[in-house]
Structure 1
Amino acid sequence: MNLKRIAIAGTVAAAVVAGGTALAAPASADTTSYAAPYGYWPVLRQGQTSENVRALQWFLSCDGYDQPAPSHFGPKTRANVVAFQQRYLTSFDGNVGAQTWRALLTHAAPTGYGQKNNCVKALQVLLNKWRYSDDLPITGYHGPRTKQKLIRFQSGHGLPATGTPDLRTYHKLIATASGS
C-alpha cells in the first residue's frame, strides 16, 4: 500500500514540476536553429557580435527599421527584431533563429543585379566572410564585383551560380562558417 502511494505521489509531483516549468518558461519564438529543408541556422541573441549580426542589422534596415549596423546585437537591434517578429511571426522573443531568418530573407532581401539598397549591403557583408582575396566595399550596389563574388561563392558551395541570391544561397552564407 505504501509503495502504491509513493508511486502516485511521485507521478503527481513530476506532473506538477513539469507543468510548473512549462508555465514558468513560455515557448520561445525563435531559439530553434533547425528549419527544413535548409537545415541549421545560427541563433543570434542580444550581446553577440559578428558579421551575421551586422548582416541582420542591414536586413532590418532594408525592411524599414531604423537600425545602426555596428555588428553588436544591442537593445536597439533586439527591439527591431521584436517589432519584425510581431509583424511577420506569431510569437516573438527578440532572438533570431531559423523562423526569423527565413521570414527576414523572405520579406526584406531584394538583392537582384543592379539594385542599390541596404539588403545588398547585408549580402556584401556576408560575402566578405569569404576572403577570396578581394573584399567588397559595402556600397549597397549589386554591381559586377558583387555579382562575380556571389557567383564564385555559389559555384564553390554547390548552388546554382546565378549571381542572384535565393534562400538556399542566403542559408549557406549565414549558416556556413567562413572558409568552409
Structure 2
Amino acid sequence: MNIKRATVVGLTAGALVAGGATLAGPASADTATQTSPSGPYWPVLQRGQTNEQVRTVQWLLNCKNIKVDVPSHFGPKTQAAVKTYQSRYGLSPDGKVGAYTWTSMASRAQVKYSDRNDCVKALQVALNVYRDMTGAKDLPITGYFGPKTRTSLHKFQTTYGLPVQDVVTVATWNRLTGPESPGE
C-alpha cells in the first residue's frame, strides 16, 4: 500500500510540476500575476470586470491605435481589442490582461512630460484612483501631460517610494495598476 501511495503521490506531483511549468510560459493564457518568480505582481483583468484598471487598459489600447470605447467595463469589444494587441505584440491572444500583457503595455507606454496622447489619458485615469492617498487634485482626462499631471505624478511617486521623474516607467505603471491599487 505504501508503495502504491508513493507512486500516486509521485506521479501527481510530477504532473503538477509539468503542468505548472507549462502554465507559467508566455505562450499560455495570460492569467499569471508575475512574469517571473521575483517579478512584480500585476492584476488579471478579464471579460465581465468593471473598474478603473479596465479603463486604464482601454486608453492604453487606444494609444496603440487599437480603438475601443472607454466605459470602464471589460466587455466583448475590449476583449477583442486585447486579443488584437496580444497578437500584434507576440503574446498569446487569450483576451485576458495578466502580467505578460501588462508588462508589454507598460513598456510601450512610457510617456513623458509634454506628451499629448491616449497613453497620457491612461495615466490620468490611474493617478485619479490614488488622489485621496497622495493629496493630489482630481485630474481632468485631457491626454495632455502638463503641469497638473506632473504634480499628481510626482506626488504619487513620492508617496510610493518611486524615483520622482517626468517619465512614467514600467515600475510606475506597475504601482499604479498593481493588485494593491485602491481601484481593485
TM bin (shorter chain): 0.7 to 0.9
Q: Using the TM superposition, give the Cα deviation of residue 177 of structure 1 relative to its aligned residue in structure 2, in angstroms.
A: 1.9
Match of 1:35, SS state, is: coil
* Residues 1-180 of structure 1: pairs in structure 2 closer than 5 A: 7=4, 28-36=28-36, 38-107=39-108, 109-131=109-131, 132=135, 134-175=137-178, 176-178=180-182
Task: For residues 41-94 of structure 1, give each alpha carbon's deviation from its aligned partner in whole angstroms, at most 9, with x where no partner exists.
Answer: 000000000100000000000001111100000000000111111111342211
Q: Is the 8 A contact 2:110 2:170 kept in 1?
A: no
- Gaps spanning 5+ residues in structure 1: where? none
Aligned AA (1:56): V
Q: Which has the larger radius of gyration?
A: 1
Name the TM-score, length of structure 1 as normaliser.
Answer: 0.82
Q: Which runs of structure 1 show a deviation greater than 4 angstroms over 4 or more consecutive aligned residues?
A: none
Aligned AA (2:78): T
Q: Using the TM superposition, give the Cα deviation of residue 106 of structure 1 relative to its aligned residue in structure 2, in angstroms.
A: 1.7
* Aligned mates of 1:177, 1:59 — CA distance in 2: 18
Aligned AA (2:112): G
Q: Is the 8 A contact 1:43 1:98 kept in 2?
A: yes
Name the TM-score, length of structure 2 as normaliser.
Answer: 0.80
Match of 2:69, SS state, is: coil
Match of 2:129, SS state, is: coil
- Gaps spanning 5+ residues in structure 2: where? none
* Aligned mates of 1:113, 1:163 — CA distance in 2: 5
Aligned AA (1:177): S
Q: Using the TM superposition, give the Cα deviation of residue 35 of structure 1 relative to its aligned residue in structure 2, in angstroms.
A: 2.6
The share of aligned pairs that are identical, in percent, is: 46
Q: Is the 8 A contact 1:49 1:72 kept in 2?
A: yes
Q: Is the 8 A contact 1:28 1:92 kept in 2?
A: no
* Aligned mates of 1:136, 1:96 — CA distance in 2: 25
Match of 2:72, SS state, is: coil
* Aligned mates of 2:119, 2:84 — CA distance in 1: 18
